[in-house]
């Protein structure tokens, strides 16, 4: 009997232990289920809040042929390009509001006229870009360029009040010369990823990028085909041929031939080599005659002299051709001009010319 009771007591003890194990397992199952439900709730909230879709826009650039001296540093290269009108952002809901901004300020090399200049794979070429809404929400914002100093965000107050939104528009793209360019190079935007970013107050962000193809940039320069030093021999005349002040005589043509392989705004400035700072219309005579100078003309217009400079806007700079390609010969004339009481003798004057590619 004693042994029987002992066995019964042992059985009851095991039974309690078994129930306890089942209870613990069930408790753990409830905890695990609650944890899974919590995760699912968080995921559901995320899915409900992240309801924006984006679409990238494309800009196709042609290969470019440039005169290396035609564009000053920190100036635009060619015309501006735009992408097709694209709906880049569509949001079906957002209870917290959002701000849409043109990206790119952190990696800017410099800023030109309020535009961030970003680098390409070509060391001499940078680019600026912006976005212009053309329909739907934020139309009133207008064109916004990526900028450090100017506000690059789009009407954030509207987006806070209107959680559903569509952003439709076009990207703008402009190349800039940021250093000297030479040779021929395939050019890309490198590591830059320009675009528009929508930032929501719940820390979600959506990005629509502007894609640009690889394009080739070939550079060249104009060349002088005529002799760099030209002697113009004026005829021998009598002083009676210059009977009164400011009369001219002995007009003699001379020419300058130039080749420009790519479209160039070609300009020229003549400088009095014997009086570099003067800006009158008469070259100084350095020989024995007195009361006589030399005057140059182009297309019947008297030439005024200026400094030896190729900078755009140089005083008395003359436009030869604002879109020259190929070889062209430009005709000029030199003539005596009476400047005072004449003493017969020799006349000598010297002018230099500076070509400017703009």
- Sheet containing 205-212: order of strands: 57-59, 205-212, 195-200, 98-102, 153-154
Both structure tokens of 159: 């987006």
Say yes or no to pLDDT of 47 above 50. no
pLDDT score at 22: 40
Say yes or no to pLDDT of 181 above 90. no
pLDDT score at 8: 41
Helix (H) or strand (E) holding 267: strand 248-272
b/e burial code for range 208-232 (CB count within 10 A of at least 16 → b):
bbbebeebebebbbbeeeeeeeeee
Q: What is the mean pLDDT of residues 67-71?
A: 78
By the 10 Å C-beta count (0-12 exposed, 13-18 middle, 19+ buried), 293 is classed as buried
Helix (H) or strand (E) holding 357: strand 351-357
- Report the DSSP beta bridge partners of residue 334: 252, 296
Range from 21-35, 94-108, 112-126, 216-230 that averages highest in pLDDT = 112-126
Q: Which residue has the higher pLDDT, 113 or 100?
A: 113
Angle at 33 between CA 29 and CA 36, to 5 degrees: 140
Least confident of 223-227, 249-253, 332-336: 223-227
Give the tens place of pLDDT for each residue, 216-241: 998 888 889 987 678 899 999 999 99
Instruction: Give, in order, the Cα–Cα distances in Å from 163 to each of 99, 153, 169, 201.
Output: 11, 17, 19, 12
Question: Strand 195-200 relative to strand 110-112: parallel, antiparallel, unpaired?
Answer: unpaired
* Domains along the sequence of the chain with CATH: 50-220 (2.60.40), 223-357 (2.60.40.1090)
Least confident of 141-155, 156-170, 203-217: 156-170
Question: Strand 153-154 relative to strand 64-67: parallel, antiparallel, unpaired?
Answer: unpaired
Say yes or no to pLDDT of 317 above 80. yes
Q: What is the distance between the alpha carbons of residues 324 and 264, in angstroms, rounded to a whole number?
A: 5
Instruction: Give, in order, the Cα–Cα distances in Å from 271 to each of 7, 36, 132, 284.
Output: 126, 86, 47, 11
When the pLDDT of each residue in the chain is averaged and rounded to a whole number, the result is: 82
Least confident of 39-53, 63-77, 175-189, 294-308: 39-53
Q: What is the mean pLDDT of residues 162-188?
A: 88
Say yes or no to pLDDT of 77 above 70. yes
Q: Which residue has the higher pLDDT, 264 or 216?
A: 216
Question: Strand 64-67 relative to strand 215-220: parallel, antiparallel, unpaired?
Answer: parallel
Say yes or no to pLDDT of 286 above 80. yes
Question: Strand 98-102 relative to strand 57-59: parallel, antiparallel, unpaired?
Answer: unpaired
Q: Give this prediction's pTM.
A: 0.62
How many CA atoms lie less than 13 Å away from 345 in the CB half-sphere? 14
Say yes or no to pLDDT of 27 above 80. no
Give the model's confidence band at 187: pLDDT under 50 very low, under 70 low, under 90 confident, else very high. very high
Q: What is the mean pLDDT of residues 30-35?
A: 40
Least Cα distance to 164 among 310, 271, 53, 305 occurs for 53
Least confident of 36-40, 163-167, 185-189, 233-237: 36-40
pLDDT score at 19: 46
Both structure tokens of 150: 């100017």
For a pLDDT cut of 70, what percent of the chain falls above it? Answer: 80
Both structure tokens of 1: 């009997």
Q: Which residue has the higher pLDDT, 269 or 22?
A: 269
Say yes or no to pLDDT of 207 above 50. yes
Residue 141 zone, left/alpha/beta (φ > 0; ψ -120 to 50; rest): alpha
In 68-136, the DSSP E strands lie at 75-82, 86-91, 98-102, 110-112, 115-119, 125-136
Q: What is the mean pLDDT of residues 201-225?
A: 88
Give the model's confidence band at 95: pLDDT under 50 very low, under 70 low, under 90 confident, else very high. low
Question: Strand 153-154 relative to strand 165-177: parallel, antiparallel, unpaired?
Answer: unpaired
pLDDT score at 210: 95
Q: What is the mean pLDDT of residues 117-145?
A: 90
Q: What is the distance between the alpha carbons of residues 126 and 122, in angstroms, rounded to a whole number?
A: 8
Give the model's confidence band at 158: pLDDT under 50 very low, under 70 low, under 90 confident, else very high. very low
The span from the first CA to the last CA of the chain, in angstroms, equals 120
Q: What is the distance between the alpha carbons of residues 97 and 117, in angstroms, rounded to a whole number?
A: 30
**In contact, 325 and 357? CB cutoff 8 Å:** no
Contacts of 119 (CB under 8 A, 6+ apart): 107, 109, 126, 178, 190, 192
């Amino acid at each position: 009997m004693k042994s029987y009771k002992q066995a019964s007591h042992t059985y009851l003890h095991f039974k309690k232990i078994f129930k306890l194990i089942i209870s613990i397992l069930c408790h753990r199952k409830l905890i695990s289920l609650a944890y899974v439900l919590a995760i699912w709730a968080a995921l559901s909230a995320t899915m409900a809040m992240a309801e924006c879709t984006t679409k990238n826009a494309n800009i196709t650039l042609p290969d470019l042929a440039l005169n290396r001296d035609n564009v000053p540093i920190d100036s635009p290269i060619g015309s501006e390009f735009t992408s097709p009108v694209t709906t880049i952002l569509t949001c079906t809901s957002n209870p917290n509001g959002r701000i849409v901004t043109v990206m790119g300020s952190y990696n800017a090399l410099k800023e030109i006229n309020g535009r961030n200049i970003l680098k390409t794979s070509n060391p001499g070429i940078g680019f600026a870009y912006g976005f212009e809404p053309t329909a739907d929400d934020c139309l009133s914002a207008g064109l916004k360029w990526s900028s450090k100093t100017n506000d690059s965000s789009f009407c954030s107050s509207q987006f806070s009040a209107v959680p559903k939104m569509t952003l439709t528009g076009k990207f703008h793209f402009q190349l800039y010369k940021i250093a000297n360019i030479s040779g021929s190079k395939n050019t890309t935007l490198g590591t830059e990823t320009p675009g528009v970013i929508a930032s929501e107050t719940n820390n979600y962000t959506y990005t629509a990028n502007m894609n640009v193809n690889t394009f080739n940039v070939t550079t060249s320069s104009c060349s002088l085909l005529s002799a760099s030093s030209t002697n113009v021999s004026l005829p021998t005349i009598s002083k009676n041929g210059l009977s009164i002040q400011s009369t001219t005589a002995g007009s003699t043509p001379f020419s300058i031939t130039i080749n420009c392989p790519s479209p160039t705004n070609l300009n020229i400035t003549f400088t009095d080599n014997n009086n570099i700072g003067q800006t009158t219309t008469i070259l100084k005579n350095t020989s024995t005659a007195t009361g006589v100078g030399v005057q140059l003309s182009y297309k019947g217009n008297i030439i005024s002299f200026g400094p030896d400079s190729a900078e755009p806007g140089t005083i008395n700079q003359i436009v030869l051709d604002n879109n020259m390609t190929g070889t062209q010969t430009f005709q000029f004339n030199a003539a005596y001009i009476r400047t005072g009481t004449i003493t017969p003798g020799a006349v000598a004057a010297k002018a230099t010319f500076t070509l400017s590619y703009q």
